[in-house]
Amino acid sequence: MTDWFNEGDLVAVLTTQPLDRPLDYKAPEGGCWSGAFVEVPLGPRKVLGVVWGPGKGDFDRSRIRSVTRVLNVAPMQPSMSDFIIKAADYTLTPLPAMLRLATRAPGLGDAPSMRHVYRLGEGEVGRMTPARQRVLSVLEDFGGLSFTLKELADAADVTSSVVKGLVKLGAVAEVQTPRDTPFPRLDPNLPGKTLSEDQTKAVSSLKEGMAEQTYQTTLLKGVTGSGKTEVYLEAVAACLKNGRQALVLLPEIALTAEFLTRVEARFGAKPAEWHSGVTMTERRRTWKMVGEGHAQLVVGARSALFLPFQDLGLIVVDEEHDTSYKQEDGVLYNARDMSVLRGNLEAAQVILASATPSLESWSNAEAGKYQRLDLTTRFGVATLPDLRAIDMRAEDLPGGRWISPSLRQEVENRLALGEQSLLFINRRGYAPVTLCRACGNQIGCDQCDARMVEHRFQKRLMCHQCGETKPIPKVCPNCEAEDRLSAVGPGVERLTEEAVALFPDARVATLSSDHYGSARALKEQIEALAAGEADVIIGTQLVAKGHNFPLLTLVGVIDADLSLHGSDLRAAERTFQLMRQVAGRAGRADKKGVAFLQTHQPEHPVIRAILSGDEEGFWAAEASERQMAGMPPYGRMAGIILSSPDLQEVFDLGTAMSRNTGPLGQIGAQVFGPAPAPIARIRGRHRVRLLVKAAKSAPIQVAIAAWVAQFKIPNQLRLSIDIDPQSFY
Ligand code: ADP
Ligand code: ZN
């Protein structure tokens, strides 16, 4: 889009408002061009938009208003508008909602805000004091740099009034600069680590792709600790050398800190960050600088994929199997799949890294759509832990206890050696069920069809669906019996209690997202634990995600059966991934680790595949099962969720939709349901789901759009469409 429009020409502007088409406006004084970000009047308001092309001219010209102004930000690249159009089509999301996702930074229209920075001035100091001397030496030592007041005062170890005093004397100059400044340059020519043989092979293959500057997706598979991060950092280096930008997506904010440190060590400066922990001003800076090409590398959460890169040459999706890449509310998209789309449109390389790839990526590699690179050995002396089952049927364990005698013995052995153990349970809180022993009532959430989970740490019951909490009652809300409520089943807090009792001399620490107010506190805790601040770590799946625990030699999975059950199509795959990821935490440094899986069904195919380490065997078996059932990734699925405070209304519409499948019938798709969703009520809204299943090649989006358009949707009813659903709740 390079069209130029003179003042008064008609232009179409796509706004972030929920309208079904771009609106016509007149180009402002000075003209504008396709892709320009603009502010336009809409009713009484001013809204953000993008010039989408020439106006349509189907509206009374005398009533058309003018674009208010062109914003001082880089225009949208043609590849970016292509991307949001295609992503909108794929996910059946209205284009304005996609544009909103692509402009999630506050104050893009504001005049660039200024801030004060401090440099060496010309004036005389007058009376020199040690404090004043320190300020001046800091400024002399770092000649070209500008400091904020706080940075300068901290660096010189003085109060800000000392600096202010020097400003008055003119010895320090106070200057105004724009707040949104470029990110420090990364130097891709700094030396990297000496690579092992298979690392070298992987890197040179990735560099070839990088040199051609064409699209390609690579599945980079290697056990935890095999050096995947090292390898893709070399790809980042090659990308930066080409003068193109790179994006690294991580599944968990807690992981970014470690990654930032590694980037700084490799390239001499920190990259830009984009996730929910970043301040609003910093978000705006990042958004703008990415657009101007002044941020070479961005590390972030899934929504970073919608940043306005000027020239994106590489996208890395680390831990690509992670479920957090799927956005589960608002715009329902999978950042992994959308990365491949964007890479395609940007002629960029895409690297999907994982120790345990998703079946989708595995089968795309099998089919030759993705290149596959394997790192087969752990770096250095670290080896994969041994994996063993503890058959819980043979263990003598009283009710209400979860650590088997065998596992207890193993932990005690580590304690004697001064080594670390991790006990893993994928359940937050104290206990999943609070049961009244008098009447059998289980305490549920008033708003949702879900049980309340006891969180003893916070002394409250919490609904994991809506986040609602209430105090732990003394009497049963059903039968009013006093003191008969009891906790049933294990959660991470309860396991901690048990471990403290079993290992009285050990330092026991809990790692669960509930216990930390902020990402920073959590990160600090992870680092402290990794550095050896605990002997026994009790953790939820938080620990499964990529962090290094070098002192860990034992992992005990408390309930390996927990995630095998459930109605989820991907239950086996998830269990396999999770167990292998957790097991991968052990034995990272020079000590070999062991992982024990407590299970009631050691002969279950998934448990057997985990234990034997026969990954390819597992994938092949899982793939052929899905293939036979026509399930993803060998067939297409879409979930339709209808929700409303009125139960009758959702069922009526659901029934009508299942009876009149018209356009879906034409592509040979089947419709299942309506059925109550597995969680039938959330925040007071009743939920009903329909499932659409079609052949892989069927144009499912077009057909669904036509199908849905046949029905009148009542006002308070929400209909959401989930293409390639990941979870079925
Ligand atoms: P992964 O991403 O596969 O989990 P990492 O890249 O984090 O693996 O590597 C694991 C550890 O081994 C890290 O501490 C990393 O710095 C180190 N490492 C990997 N490759 C090398 C290498 N070629 N030289 C030195 N250290 C390496
Ligand atoms: Zn609830």
Please tell me the distance from the alpha carbon of residue 308 to that of residue 408, in angstroms, as a whole number: 53
Do 361 and 450 reside in the same domain of the chain? no
What CATH number is associated with residue 645?
3.30.70.600
User: Which tens digit of pLDDT belongs to each residue from 542-561?
Assistant: 666 656 787 888 889 888 87
Q: Report how far ligand 2's centroid is from the alpha carbon of 449 (Å).
A: 7
Instruction: Give the percent of the chain with pLDDT over 70.
Output: 94
| Residues 695, 627 contacting (CB under 8 angstroms) | no
Alpha carbon distance 128, 136 (integer Å):
10
Q: 276 and 213 in one domain?
A: yes
Strands 552-557 and 594-599: parallel
- Tell me, in angstroms, the distance from the centre of ligand 2 to residue 448's CA: 4
Distances (CA, A) of 110 to 191, 206, 327: 41, 41, 29
Ligand 1 center from residue 193 Cα (angstroms): 9
Residue among 195, 258, 379, 545 to mutate when testing ligand 1 (max atoms within 8 A of CB): 379
Give per-residue pLDDT as tens, 677-724: 877 888 888 888 888 999 999 999 999 999 999 999 999 999 999 998
Total structural domains within the chain: 6
Residue 536 belongs to a domain: yes
Residues 676, 532, single domain; the answer is no
DSSP 3-state of 194 = coil
Q: At residue 328, does pLDDT exceed 70?
A: yes
Decide if 103 is inside a domain. Answer: no
pLDDT of residue 215: 94
For 202, how many CA atoms within 13 A lie in the half-sphere containing its CB? 29
- For residue 381, what pLDDT is reported? 47
Nearest ligand, CA 684: 2
* Cα–Cα nearest to 12, from 2, 29, 30, 33: 33
From ligand 1's centre to the CA of 270, what distance in Å?
19
Q: Write the CB contacts of 168 (distance below 8 Å, at least 6 apart in sequence).
A: none
Whether the pLDDT of residue 243 is over 90: the answer is yes
Query: Which chain residues have CB less than 5 Å from ligand 2, an ion?
Result: 445, 447-448, 463, 465-466, 468
Indicate if 208 and 268 belong to the same structural domain.
Answer: yes
Residues 284, 180 contacting (CB under 8 angstroms): yes
Residues with CB under 6 A from ligand 1: 193-196, 199, 222, 224-230, 379
User: Do 17 and 96 form a contact (C-beta atoms < 8 A)?
Assistant: yes
Residue at which a domain ends, from 459, 489, 519: 489
Separation of alpha carbons 138 and 144, rounded Å = 11
Q: How far is the CA of 651 from the centre of ligand 2 (A)?
A: 21
At 63, the pLDDT band (50, 70, 90 cuts) reads: confident
- The pLDDT of residue 112 is 65
Examine residue 102 and state whether it is found in any structural domain, yes or no: no
**Distance between CA atoms of residues 508 and 537, nearest Å:** 6
Question: Relative to the CA of 226, which ligand 1 atom is closest?
Answer: 3
For the ranges 112-116, 225-229, 306-310, 405-409, which has the lowest average pLDDT? Answer: 112-116
Q: How many whole angstroms separate alpha carbon 493 and alpha carbon 508?
A: 11
Residue where the block lists tokens 């609070």: 434
Examine residue 100 and state whether it is found in any structural domain, yes or no: no
Residues 266 and 405 in one domain: no
The span from the CA of 331 to the CA of 341, in Å, is 16
Q: Which of 345, 375, 405 is the last residue of a domain?
A: 375
Kindly state the tokens that stand for 93.
Answer: 């999301």
Which residue, judged by its Cα, is nearest atom 20 of ligand 1? Answer: 227
Residue nearest to atom 5 of ligand 1 (CA): 227
Task: Check residue 681 and give its pLDDT.
Answer: 82
pLDDT computed for residue 1 by the predictor: 45
Q: Are strands 172-178 and 114-120 parallel, antiparallel or unpaired?
A: antiparallel
pLDDT at 587: 63
**Torsion sign over Cα 273, 275, 279, 283:** positive
CA dist 643 and 360 (Å) reads 29
Q: Are residues 421 and 433 in the same domain?
A: no
Final residue of a structural domain among 441, 468, 489:
489
What is the number of the ligand 1 atom nearest to the C-alpha of 222? 3
- In whole angstroms, give the CA distance from residue 460 to residue 453: 8
Are 621 and 668 in a shared domain? Answer: no
Instruction: Tokens 């502007």: give the residue.
Output: 13
- Token readout for 605 is 């195919």
Residues 221, 193 contacting (CB under 8 angstroms): no
Cα 325 to ligand 1 centre (Å): 24
> Is 253 a residue whose pLDDT tops 80?
no
Domain that includes residue 527, residue range: 381-427+491-629
Residues 611 and 479 in one domain: no
Report if residue 85 sits inside a domain.
no
118-141 average pLDDT score: 86
CA of 470, nearest ligand number? 2
Structure tokens at 194: 């000496």
Q: Are residues 572 and 462 in the same domain?
A: no
Does one domain contain both 368 and 387?
A: no
Q: What is the separation of C-alpha 72 from the centre of its chain, rounded to a whole number of angstroms?
A: 30
Computed from CA positions of residues 434, 437, 440, 446, in that sequence, does the dihedral angle turn out positive or negative? negative
Q: Output 189 or 458, whichever has higher pLDDT.
A: 189
Tell which atom from ligand 1 comes closest to the C-alpha of 262. 16
- Contacting residues for 390 by C-beta, under 8 A, at least 6 apart: 404, 406, 407, 596, 597, 598, 599
Does 86 map to a domain?
Answer: no
Residue 191 lies in a domain: no
* Shared domain check, 230 and 303: yes
463's tokens: 């609904």
* Alpha helices in 195-269, H assignment, sequence order: 197-212, 228-241, 256-267
Residue 65 lies in a domain: yes
Q: 590 and 543: one domain?
A: yes
| More reliable by pLDDT, 643 or 428 | 643
Strand partners, 120: 172
Confidence bin at 113 (pLDDT 50/70/90): low
Angle (nearest 5°) at CA 264 between 260 and 268? 155
Maximal CA-CA distance, the chain: 89
Strands (E) in 548-593, as ranges, are: 552-557
CB 315 within 8 A of CB 249: yes
Residues forming a β-bridge with 317: 249, 352
The larger pLDDT score, comparing residue 563 to residue 2, is at 563
Q: Of 301-310, 601-610, 720-729, give the range with the top mean pLDDT.
A: 301-310
Tell me the Ramachandran region of residue 670: left when phi exceeds 0, alpha when psi lies from -120 to 50, beta otherwise: beta
Q: Which of 193, 194, 230 to mutate to test the pocket of ligand 1 (most atoms within 8 A of CB)?
A: 230
Of how many residues is the chain composed?
729
Which tokens go with 726? 């990941």
Burial class (CB within 10 angstroms; exposed 0-12, middle 13-18, buried 19+) of 307: buried
pLDDT at 90 over 60: yes
